[in-house]
Structure 1
Amino acid sequence: MSNKPSIDDAPTISEAQGVRYLHFGTEWVQGAMLVAKPNELVLEYTAQMMAWQLFIDPPKSQSIGLLGLGAGSLTRFCLKHYNNPVTVVEWNPQVTAACHLYFKLPSPSRLRIDHMDAEQWVAETEQAGQLSVLMVDLYDAQARGPVRDSVDFYSHCRRVLADVGVLTVNLFGAHESFERNIKNLSKAFGGRLLSLPQIDAGNQIVIAFTGPGLEVSVADLLTRAELVESRYGLPARKWAKSLVSQSRGGILSV
């Protein structure tokens, strides 16, 4: 990801069986929208990016942050379900324009889109401690793993989070970049990571934490998941059950 969009980064659109897809001139899908229900999360991994809700309530005053706009799926979902401001960092203005034209992205006053490199954005001192939730999904046209994945980048992501905060990041589980990302995330977040299982498409969502050590019983986690699922229509019980294997003695510690 360079600092200036080029013609090769121009979004392309496809549609099949009522689903509209965003690409960057390749077969790789950068995002999708169910045309009849634009606020639903049609791709499984985008729903999993919301797994932070198993551990923290939507912040009441702070913005929800997203690095990478894609087809605007997570942005639309957050705008629909929460009253929070939403801050998106998207380096390519062409993607934002495509989202407004083809993916029903609204323009409420509480939505802020900064067009700049996410690595530069998280490094800005004024961003420190501004978010309780940060979702990171940074891929280019070739989708060969995240385009920003250094220890410094993840450390700056950690600094952007508040005293108690949660990050979710979209990785490729069956890819050479996965172990590097896990290593760098672990260094940046002091090993405080959980991961959901890799899905068929290859995506694997990792959850990282700031703040005091967290200990939650499996029973409480499942109860929380039922609440999230009933309130937002997300498969949260499936996520919670997958995390049980990372618990010890009925307690999930991170």
Structure 2
Amino acid sequence: MSGDQTSWQAYLAFLSTPVDEARPFVLETEHAVSLHFDHLATQSFMSLRQPDRLVLPYTRAMMGFLLLRPTPRHIAMIGLGGGSLAKYCYRHLPESKITAVEVNPEVIALRDTFRIPPDDARFEVLCADGADYIGNVGSHGGEESETQRLDVILLDAFGADGMPARCTSVEFFTACRERLADGGVLAINLGNDDPALPAQLARLERAFGTSRSVFPVATGDNYVAFAWNDAQALPSRQALFDRAHAPGWARNLGLRATAQRLKEGECFNPKRLVWHEPGISHWKVPGWPRSD
């Protein structure tokens, strides 16, 4: 049987899979494996030829934290999914400790399917609520030690019902700011089709003030928000461009384009978002510059 026929049969089987909000399911074709909670949205995507490659554009955009924190000591990932970001950081940031927090044990059970490395001295997958994890880090009854603070928080906690409300509350964003080391960075994947997007961004601004940047991913399917634990503005555009070329291994991330969007996103105003109904409902900003 040809690869195309095998992939087509796998897709038909995928479409006939009953939807269970608590249980993710996998589509495996000749060339890729993807994670889903329904038949419409893709939660994670892995190339079988290059399992560590970041295929989805929003994941590459989230790696823009390297422009602000190029050598993080500790990265916390809220939401494991298929482990795309976890695998990429594990491979390319060997000096970083990585903690991936996933609330759904059914997702964690698929870690071998998505070739997520086993736990070791610098990589750990925790089955826990991400909001609880952020709120409890370093809480030992005394002052929080510097080694327990987080340099980067990557928030990509989508489930069957989208982003959990606890992970987009003012309280959660404030806890993220408090747990970040000085100059630490929070990067968030947000759905372009989520009616709550403007409210989520308003809560982020309440927690971080003007120390934030928001921009649509080139494909238009997602927004990525960055916030940093520092009252300073972003470095200049040229400084960000210079940093984009620093890690030679990161050429396929498109960091220069992300640097451009990151700088433009300083001026992003959530009040300009317009809900677009025809076709697939989503948010758009009239006249927003495209850097792709």
- TM-score normalized with structure 2 length: 0.75
* Residue 99 of structure 2 corresponds to residue 87 of structure 1: yes
Provide the secondary structure at the position in 2 that maps to 1:98: coil
The answer as to whether partners of 2:26 and 2:33 remain within 8 angstroms in 1 is: yes
Provide the secondary structure at the position in 2 that maps to 1:196: strand
**Structure 1 match to 2:240:** 221
The answer as to whether partners of 1:28 and 1:142 remain within 8 angstroms in 2 is: no
Change (3 A) 1:204 1:247: closer
Distance 1:160 1:247 in 2: 22
Distance 1:194 1:175 in 2: 19
**Structure 1 match to 2:157:** 138
The answer as to whether partners of 1:67 and 1:88 remain within 8 angstroms in 2 is: yes
Change (3 A) 1:171 1:246: closer
Q: CA deviation at 1:201?
A: 5.1
Provide the secondary structure at the position in 1 that maps to 2:41: coil
Provide the secondary structure at the position in 2 that maps to 1:9: coil
**Structure 1 match to 2:3:** none
- Which protein is bigger by CA-based radius of gyration? 2
Distance 1:97 1:133 in 2: 25
Change (3 A) 1:94 1:201: farther
Distance 2:186 2:64 in 1: 10
List runs of 5+ in structure 2 lacking aligned partners: 1-19, 268-292
Instruction: Select which of 32, 37, 59 maps to 2:50.
Output: 37
Q: Deviations over 1:19-74 (max 9, x none)?
A: 21001244321111111101100111111111111112122xx3211000010000
Distance 2:266 2:61 in 1: 19
The answer as to whether partners of 1:26 and 1:142 remain within 8 angstroms in 2 is: no
Give the length in aligned residue pairs.
Answer: 237
Distance 1:221 1:179 in 2: 27
Amino acid at match of 1:38: P
Q: Deviations over 1:63-87 (max 9, x none)?
A: 2110000100000001100121110
The answer as to whether partners of 1:193 and 1:206 remain within 8 angstroms in 2 is: yes
Provide the secondary structure at the position in 2 that maps to 1:94: helix
* Residue 219 of structure 2 corresponds to residue 207 of structure 1: no
Q: CA deviation at 1:244?
A: 4.2
Amino acid at match of 2:236: S
Instruction: Select which of 187, 194, 207 maps to 1:188.
Output: 207
Change (3 A) 1:201 1:68: same
Distance 1:48 1:215 in 2: 16
**Structure 1 match to 2:168:** 149
CA RMSD in angstroms, aligned pairs only: 2.1
Distance 2:132 2:97 in 1: 21
Distance 1:11 1:156 in 2: 29
- TM-score normalized with structure 1 length: 0.85
Does 182-191 or 195-204 show the bigger shift? Answer: 195-204
Change (3 A) 1:20 1:179: same
Distance 2:203 2:170 in 1: 5
The answer as to whether partners of 1:170 and 1:205 remain within 8 angstroms in 2 is: yes
